A and B are shown apart, each in its own frame.
Chain A
Amino acid sequence: MVAGLTVSERQLALLVLGLLASGGLAMAAAGRGDPLGAHGFIVLIISVALAFLVLSRYHDPEPSQERLSEYYDDPTRVGIVLAMIWAVIGMFFGVWVSALLAWPELTFVDQAWASFGRIRPVHTSGVIFGFGGNALIATSFHVLQRTTRARLPDQFSPWFVLIGYNLFCIVAASGYLMGVTQSKEYAEPEWYADFWLVIVWVVYFAIYIRTLMRRKEPHIYVANWYYMAFILVVAVLHIVNNLALPISAGSAKSYTIWPGVQDAMVQWWYGHNAVAFFLTAGFLGMMYYYLPKRAERPIFSYRLSIISFWGITFMYMWAGSHHLHYTALPQWVQTLGMTFSVMLLVPSWASAGNALATLNGAWHKVRDDATLRFMMVAAVFYGLSTFEGSFMAIRAVNSLSHYTDWTVAHVHAGALGWVAMITFGSFYALVPWMWKQERMYSPKLVEVHFWLALSGTIIYVFAMWNAGIIQGLMWRTYNDSGTLAYSFIESMVAMHPYYIARTVGGLFFLAGAVVGFYNIIMTIRMARRGAAAPDSASDVPAVAVQPGE
């Protein structure tokens, strides 16, 4: 880690860590008696520990000039491991919160931090930002260098992004346990964490654009379009939705500048596009690189890539208001949201179809190779959940599905089936390349992970579909005398068996992630013991040339 930095970069690292430590100290001093102060101490401890790490290796020899003719992959390697750690943490909390809905006394401790409302965002942020975000950062650095044939611009800034991002995740997750939250869904972290993320994100964008400017390929490869859209649009969404006024410099508490109905619109413009640009665009970038590479097939259609990319970039931004059907949001906005959500099916299926058609001629590999099968199943779930999303955005359907567990089913079809599966598939392809091995430590365990993940997802999603539809129907059922047939509590009691089934599905998925983490760690250990496999001939995937060009 430190050995890869030049002396001037080590000095820069110490300077930045010094600034960060002073920032932590200032927070600790200003926020005495407030959770802000506790966060100040966390920041201080982490930055001092990292400074010691840099100092202890400060006099190591500098990396040789030859490094400039190679790609810089250390941040990717560390990012993969961090992503898997967050996967296990985030999914563990997911299983725990799901168990609390079946058995509410399962808090173990009757403490505030262990209550459902505080640990649920640890699950959502842990898997979305911890697991998903680290996976995106790690793979984006890898894909960016391979598809531009240019090395990252320097050795310091990728570490700044990776470690700075994880600092954000740690502050966010520990904050929820202390009760620090804006209660804005998927944007819970408070103002100072949000501010820090903006700094990290600017550096991330700078790495991307600086590398692209130095590319040796004339064209920017399609995976990079998606990674760029992810970085740019998430920045805009994050800044606009989190504009807030802290009540004082020494308090973690802030109030959003957006009031009531406008806040609802901004929040779901953010919320739905966090799905679009964090959980879709970024992972499509992953898919457009690792799937054709693993299948050793060119992308099926360049035209479809263009249509789906610009369709997604344009239309998703209109779709957020479908979260607010029949609410106090003006109806014209609801109708716009519904319309664009339905149209979104076209670019979404163009992407899913493009991925599946790329596998033509490689289906025997899908049968034999669990890694490629992960990616294939991910593309299928992407197609299914985008169809379901467009369907649920229709007002009449939404009147039944909204507020019920059907939403939870939909989210997890996307999150488990698409996001997590494409990540695991990409990691299983990437890890042997990164640690210069012929294959993973155990291809059998990849197979085990695949079946655990797939069965877990199916159990989970079917349980929640049933739960949601039953719930929605019970709420609107009338008896013969024209009054509501069921009390709310009756609908809640009816959920119990499905909540248990969901916990079982989640446990399967968590078990798979643990198996995957073990397999990756063992592959790394295998690499440390044994010899390296030769590099593959070309890292750049082929793109089909259209007739007439």
Chain B
Amino acid sequence: MSRIKQRFADLRANKRTGLVTYVTAGDPDVARSAEILRRLDRAGADVLEVGVPFSDPLADGPVIQRATERALAAGTTLEKVLAMIAGVRADISAPVVIFSYANPILRMGLDRFVTEAKAAGVDGVLTLDMPPEEGEAFRGAFAGAGIDTIFLLSPTTSVERIRRASTLGSGFLYGISRLGVTGVRESLDDSAKDLAGRVRAETAMPLALGFGLSRPEHVRAVGQWADAAVVGSALVKVIAEHGQSAGLLDEVERYVQWLRS
């Protein structure tokens, strides 16, 4: 059983809402990114999503765009992200999911990426601009290496495509709980609950819901409809605010513990 499947099975067995965290790799720099992953794991994150910075993040809002710019300015590349994951893998228990746009992976070459990701201990890959219709080569290569392919679902995704994503994908499904780019929102949209209901009617595959969550009550609310809540932009904001301070890691840990409260 993959590390991701095991983690979601444990969450269900313990009737616990999982917390999936997203950070942009290399923000504020690669070395501190590695430390952030260790702290997230220690603070109780259940799945660590690691974003690969890309020059044209068209699915991302301003918070992650800025993080991407900081990471690129710090010289972060896909190769360095994989090396960083390899360096922390032994210290963390949570599964690691690479979150990337297609082009950096294509440029590295799919075969080389799969080999290096496998060696680094990457558990899953979500390619933002690679819907199931385009993603067959990626999916096949990942499956061959025992890496889960995570697909996105949105409020506009049809039932037929929910089925396709649950058949072709593995590990878990990532539901976008509202329309738009990534970013922090104060309250949860009804569309989150609706989407979860439509997914639940089609598949028993674990579901993580995200896009816009920032508070412990959001995490608890999502727990009523899904296996896990994803917190991305809000965490990236914490990193942005404390990136230059010595207290960065403590702030990250405190924020994740608060989300868990």
Asked if chains A and B come from one complex, the reply is no
Give the interface of B toward A (CB within 8 A): none
Give the interface of A toward B (CB within 8 A): none
